[in-house]
Chain A
Amino acid sequence: MSQPKTLFEKIWDDHVVYEEPGAPAILYIDLHLIHEVTSPQAFQGLREKGLRVRRPGQTLATMDHSIPTVGRDFSLMDAMAVKQVQTLEANCREFGIPLFNMFDDRQGIVHVIGPELGLTQPGMTIVCGDSHTSTHGAFGALAFGIGTSEVEHVLATQTILQRKPKTFEVRFEGTLPEGVTAKDMILALIATIGVGGGVGHVFEYTGEAVRRLNMEERLTLCNMSIEGGARAGLIAPDDTTFEYLADKPFAPKGKAWEEALERWRRLPTDPGATYDKSVTIDVSRLEPVITWGINPGMAIPITGRIPDPDKEPDPRKRRAMQRALEYMNFRPGQQLLGHPIDVVFIGSCTNARITDLRQAAQIFKGRKVAPGVRVLIVPGSQQVKRQAEAEGLDRIFKEAGAEWREPGCSMCIAMNGDRLEPGQYCVSTSNRNFEGRQGPGGRTILASPLTAAAAAVTGKITDPRTLIG
Chain B
Amino acid sequence: MEPFVTLTSKLVPLPNENVDTDQIIPAQYLKVTDKVGLGKYLFAGWRYLPDGSPNPDFVLNRPEMQGRKVLLAGNNFGSGSSREHAVWALQGWGFRAVISTRFADIFYNNALKNGLLPVVVDEETHQRLFRWVDADPNVEITIDLPNQKLCLPDGTEVTFPIDSFSKHCLLKGLDQLGYLLEHLPRVEAYETSHPPRVDTTVLLTQVPPSPAPRS
Please list the residues of chain A having a beta carbon within 8 angstroms of any beta carbon in chain B: 17-18, 20, 22-24, 26, 28, 30-31, 37-38, 40-41, 44-45, 49, 51, 54-60, 65-66, 78, 80-81, 83-84, 87, 96-98, 100, 104-106, 119, 121, 124, 129-131, 144-150, 152-153, 156-161, 163, 165, 195-196, 199-200, 226-227, 229, 231, 250, 295, 316-317, 319-320, 323, 382-383, 385-386, 389-390, 394-395, 413-415, 422, 432, 434-437, 440-441
Contacts and interface: CB of A to CB of B under 8 A. Distances in A.
Given A41-B84, A158-B191, 18 more contacts: A17-B187, A18-B183, A23-B179, A38-B82, A65-B27, A83-B31, A104-B208, A119-B198, A146-B109, A150-B113, A159-B180, A229-B105, A231-B105, A231-B106, A295-B79, A386-B209, A414-B27, A434-B23
A320 B190 contact: no
Interface stretch (B10-18, B56-64, B133-141, B152-160): B10-18
A20 B209 CA distance: 47
Contacts of A231: 105-106
Interface residues of B, number: 67
Contacts of B166: 24
B50 A441 contact: yes
Contacts of B114: 149
B28 to A, nearest CB: 6
A436 B79 CA distance: 15
A40 B45 CA distance: 25
A17 to B, nearest CB: 5
Given A24-B163, A104-B208, A98 B17 contact: no
Contact of A41 (B33, B45, B81, B203): B33
Contacts of B82: 38, 129-131, 145-147
Nearest to A81: B31
A200 B105 contact: yes
B201 interface: yes
Contacts of A149: 84, 110, 113-114, 176-177
Contacts of A295: 18, 20, 79
A149 B109 CA distance: 9
A379 to B, nearest CB: 11
Nearest to B1: A149
Q: Which of A37, A320, A422, A434 has the most CB of B within 10 A?
A: A434
A67 B106 CA distance: 25
A6 B87 CA distance: 33
24 contacts: A17-B186, A17-B187, A30-B196, A30-B198, A40-B34, A80-B32, A83-B31, A84-B32, A100-B203, A119-B198, A121-B197, A131-B82, A160-B180, A196-B104, A227-B80, A250-B198, A295-B79, A319-B15, A320-B16, A320-B17, A323-B16, A395-B215, A434-B20, A435-B45
Contacts of A316: 15, 17, 74-75
Interface in B16-48: 16-18, 20, 22-23, 26-28, 30-35, 45
Nearest to B126: A316
A179 to B, nearest CB: 29
B200 A56 contact: yes
Contacts of B30: 37, 65-66, 415
A145 B84 CA distance: 11
Main secondary structure of the interface of B (DSSP, over half): loop
Contacts of B17: 316-317, 319-320
A432 B113 CA distance: 26
B210 interface: yes
B124 interface: no
Contact of A157 (B180, B203, B212): B180
Nearest to B34: A41
A142 to B, nearest CB: 13
B200 A98 contact: yes
B76 A199 contact: yes
B215 to A, nearest CB: 8
A200 B198 CA distance: 29
B197 A196 contact: no
B105 A436 contact: no
Given A106-B209, A199-B105, A56 B34 contact: no
A415 B31 contact: yes
Nearest to B33: A40
Contacts of B18: 195-196, 295, 320
B96 interface: no
A435 B22 contact: yes
Contacts of A196: 18, 75-76, 79, 102, 104
A31 B183 contact: no
Contacts of B184: 157
Contacts of B204: 96, 98
Going nearest first, the 6 A-B pairs with the smallest beta carbon separation are A147-B110, A196-B76, A23-B165, A40-B33, A80-B31, A147-B84
A160 B146 CA distance: 25
A104 B28 CA distance: 25
Nearest to B209: A105
